[in-house]
């Protein structure tokens, strides 16, 4: 069975750390979170993975093809570099939702997010055999968002994009896909198993609810790097009017 592999990356004992010995300045925490995310993105993308910042203290990476040993070397490199450590947990499943459930359960089993005793652990299991590795990523984007950016107050535009994010989350969660905001008017979904018609239905729901029109390139391949690249290529073709559809699938 084809499976997506997700890695949950969680900062160890972060809540207590942020207030020890007294509440740390927010600017320090924001810088740390951004730098930690950037380092993880560099490390995982060097091995064809893709990390989403998610909530920054908990990040989600698509890691098909990245072994337990490679995870361990990333973990060691990152944990040497920062004043906090992270733990990682790998989960797999036919859908992204199930994969993150597996990853979460393994990490929760290894100890609390607020435990000083859990430090830099690596748990969970990778996809068993490489011919089972499968990642589908949808790169979704709002049509003509620059028109809104250039005419409405920026906070109103931001709010509309966040509502769009939430509408995509709700609709895609029912289909066991996970949506991540990637900045600007862009969203990426780990969407194994979702076909073009189903995605078109999702976009219709969002349009009915918010009046926002979306388009998407969808890539499917053995690694996150290739799936995301194919997705972005598909989106580029739609933008350039090279195709008439507003959803383009590409299989690597």
CB of 252 to Mg ion, least distance (A): 24
157 binds Mg ion, rule: CB under 5 A: no
Residue 142: CB minimum distance to Mg ion, A: 5
Residue 68's binding partner among ligand GTP, Mg ion, none (Cβ under 5 to 8 angstroms by kind) is none
Number of residues that bind Mg ion (CB under 5 A): 4
Q: 6 and 63 in contact (C-beta within 8 Å)?
A: yes
**C-beta separation of 79 from 85 below 8 A:** yes
Return all residues near 21 (Cβ < 8 A) that are at least 6 apart. Answer: none
* Distance, CA of 198 to CA of 136 (rounded, Å): 14
Show the site string, 173-212: x = touches ligand GTP by CB under 6 A, - = not: ---------xxxxx--------------------------
> How near is the Cβ of 246 to Mg ion at its closest, in Å?
12
Site string for ligand GTP, 138-167 (x = CB under 6 A): ---xxxxxx---------------------
CA angle 158, 164, 167 (to 5 degrees): 145
Interacting positions 183-222 with Mg ion (CB under 5 A): 185
Shortest CB 139 distance to ligand GTP, Å = 7
Shortest Å, Cβ 144 to Mg ion: 7
38 binds ligand GTP (CB under 6 A): no
The answer to whether the CB of 150 falls within 8 A of the CB of 225 is no
Residue 240 vs residues 182, 184, 218: alpha-carbon distances, Å: 21, 19, 16
Tell how strand 186-190 and strand 214-221 pair up. Answer: unpaired
Sheet holding 86-93, edge to edge: 50-52, 58-62, 4-11, 86-93, 122-124
Closer by beta carbon to ligand GTP, 71 or else 139:
139
Interface residue list for ligand GTP (CB under 6 A): 141-146, 182-186, 232, 239
Interface residue list for Mg ion (CB under 5 A): 141-142, 145, 185
């Amino acid at each position: 069975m084809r499976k997506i592999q997700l890695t949950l990356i969680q900062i160890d004992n972060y809540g207590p750390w942020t207030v020890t010995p007294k509440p740390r300045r927010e600017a320090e925490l924001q810088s740390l979170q951004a730098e930690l995310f950037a380092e993880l993105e560099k490390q995982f993308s060097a091995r064809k993975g893709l990390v989403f910042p998610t909530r920054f203290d908990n990040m989600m990476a698509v890691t098909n093809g990245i072994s337990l040993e490679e995870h361990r070397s990333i973990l060691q490199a990152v944990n040497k570099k920062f004043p906090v450590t992270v733990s990682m947990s790998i989960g797999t499943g036919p859908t992204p939702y199930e994969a993150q459930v597996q990853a979460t359960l393994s990490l929760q089993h290894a100890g609390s997010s607020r435990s000083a005793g859990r430090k830099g652990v690596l748990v969970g299991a990778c996809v068993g055999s490489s011919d089972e590795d499968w990642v589908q990523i949808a790169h979704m984007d709002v049509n003509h968002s620059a028109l809104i950016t250039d005419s409405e107050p920026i906070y109103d535009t931001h709010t509309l994009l966040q509502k769009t994010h939430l509408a995509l989350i709700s609709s895609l969660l029912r289909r066991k896909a996970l949506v991540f905001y990637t900045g600007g008017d862009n969203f990426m979904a780990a969407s194994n198993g979702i076909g073009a018609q189903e995605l078109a239905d999702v976009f219709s729901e969002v349009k009915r609810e918010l009046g926002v029109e979306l388009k998407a390139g969808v890539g499917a391949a053995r690694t996150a790097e290739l799936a995301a690249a194919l997705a972005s290529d598909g989106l580029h073709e739609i933008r350039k009017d090279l195709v008439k559809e507003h959803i383009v699938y590409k299989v690597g």
